[in-house]
Homo-oligomer: A and B are copies of this chain.
Amino acid sequence: RIDARRLEEAIRSFGRIGALPGGGVCRLALSDADKAARDELTHRMTMLGLVVDIDAIGNIFGTRPARAPDGAAGTVMIGSHIDTVSTGGLYDGTFGVLAGLEIVAALNDAAIETERPITVAAFTNEEGSRFQPDMLGSLVFAGGLPLADALATRDADGAVLGDELRRIGYAGDATGPENIAAYFELHIEQGPVLEREGIQIGVVSGIQGISWHAFRLTGRSAHAGTTPRAMRRDAGMAAARIVHDAYEMGARMGADQLVTCGSLRLAPGLINVVPQEANLTIDLRNPDDDALRDAEAILLAIACAAAAEAGVVVEHRSLARFAPVSFDPALVADVERVATGLGHTTRRMHSGAGHDAQMLARIAPSAMIFVPSAGGVSHNVEEYTAPDDLARGTEILSRLVLHWSCP
Complex Cα gap A23–B378 (Å): 46
Q: Please name the residue on chain B nearest to A306 by beta carbon.
A: B244
Q: Please name the residue on chain B nearest to A283 by beta carbon.
A: B224
CB-CB under 8 A from A85, the residues of chain B are: 268, 270, 272-273
Contact A262 B274 (CB under 8 A): yes
Does A342 touch B at the CB level, under 8 Å?
no
CB-CB under 8 A from A353, the residues of chain B are: 223, 225-226
CB-CB under 8 A from A221, the residues of chain B are: 87, 379-380
CB-CB under 8 A from A236, the residues of chain B are: 243, 260-262, 264
Q: Give chain B nearest CB distance to A343 CB in angstroms.
A: 27
Complex Cα gap A221–B260 (Å): 11
Q: Please name the residue on chain B nearest to A128 by beta carbon.
A: B272
Given A86-B270, A271-B319, A273-B129: A258 in contact with B225 (beta carbons within 8 A): yes
Q: How large is the interface on A (under 10, 10 to 19, 20 to 34, 35 or more residues)?
A: 35 or more
Contact A379 B229 (CB under 8 A): no
Complex Cα gap A263–B224 (Å): 12
The interface stretch among A144-152, A186-194, A326-334, A399-407 is A186-194
Contact with B along A225-241 (1 / 0, CB 8 A): 11111110010110111
Contact of A285 among B87, B222, B224, B378 (CB under 8 A): B224
Complex Cα gap A258–B225 (Å): 7
Contact A262 B258 (CB under 8 A): no
Contact residues of A with B, CB < 8 Å?
85-87, 127-129, 132, 134, 189-192, 208, 210, 212, 220-231, 234, 236-237, 239-241, 243-244, 247, 250-251, 255, 258, 260-266, 268-276, 281, 283, 285, 319, 351-354, 376-380
Beyond the given pairs A85-B268, A212-B271, 12 more chain A to chain B contacts, judged by CB atoms under 8 angstroms and listed by A's residue number, are: A212-B272, A221-B380, A222-B377, A223-B352, A223-B378, A224-B260, A226-B352, A229-B251, A236-B243, A237-B261, A261-B266, A263-B266
27 contacts between A and B (CB under 8 A): A85-B273, A87-B268, A87-B273, A87-B276, A128-B271, A129-B270, A129-B271, A189-B226, A210-B225, A212-B272, A221-B380, A222-B380, A223-B379, A224-B262, A225-B258, A225-B285, A226-B352, A227-B376, A229-B250, A234-B260, A236-B264, A240-B247, A241-B244, A241-B247, A263-B271, A271-B281, A272-B379
